[in-house]
Amino acid sequence: MSAESAVAYATKEETGTDGDVLLHMTTDRVLELVKDVEKQMQIRFDPLTSGAPSKSCRLAMALMAHRYGENIRLDDIARAAGMSKFHFIRKFRHEIGVTPGAFLQHYRITRAMQLLEETNRPIRGIGRSVGYGDPAAFSRAFLKLTGVQPNRFRRMQRQQAILTQAGRMGPWTAVSM
């Protein structure tokens, strides 16, 4: 998707024109996305005191959320937001509390965590699907943000699911297994 079509799409709601619907995100959805990343990053975004993200930051987050599995460049995101790279980084960090790169990395790792928990896909494939071409880079980023390697995270999630399931069955069922 070109930067021009992304910008056209982001303004679709305001202009009422037809356009590419891949990046349509309501303010509520953007705030939900920010909250997800905020939880992972332990940052504090308060829409009541700082206001909702600007249209350019909403567009940037939508573009990153849509293309997180691709090799997306900061220049492309800034262009789609209609700003120079320098101004965009400064504005995004001011409004969201982190740099666009940190936001994208956390979004990717959050998505990887979901895939590790919900699927049996190979870890290497999950890394590729969330935008890491190099398995070692994926493991390093995952470890940095979560404190554990992806394979250990998956094992921990599976063990937790087994314990949760056993708890639902009651102590008598778990013993009789």
pLDDT > 90 in the chain, percent: 47
Domain containing 82 equals 3-98
pLDDT in tens, 70-115: 999 999 999 988 999 999 999 999 988 889 999 999 999 999 999 9
Contact 62, 52 (CB under 8 A): no
pLDDT of residue 78: 94
Same domain? For 63 and 147 the reply is no
Q: How confident is the model at residue 170 (pLDDT cuts 50, 70, 90)?
A: low
For the segment 59-71, the average pLDDT, to the nearest whole number, is: 90
Q: How many domains does the chain have?
A: 2
pLDDT of residue 101: 93
Last residue of one domain, picked from the residues 71, 98, 125: 98
Q: How confident is the model at residue 38 (pLDDT cuts 50, 70, 90)?
A: low
Radius of gyration of the chain (CA): 19
Of residues 102 and 36, the one with the higher pLDDT is 102
Q: What contacts 56, CB < 8 A, 6 or more positions away?
A: 81, 82, 83, 88, 91
Same domain? For 64 and 91 the reply is yes
Same domain? For 128 and 170 the reply is yes
Same domain? For 12 and 88 the reply is yes
Same domain? For 135 and 50 the reply is no
Query: DSSP class of residue 53?
Result: P
CA distance 13 to 11: 5
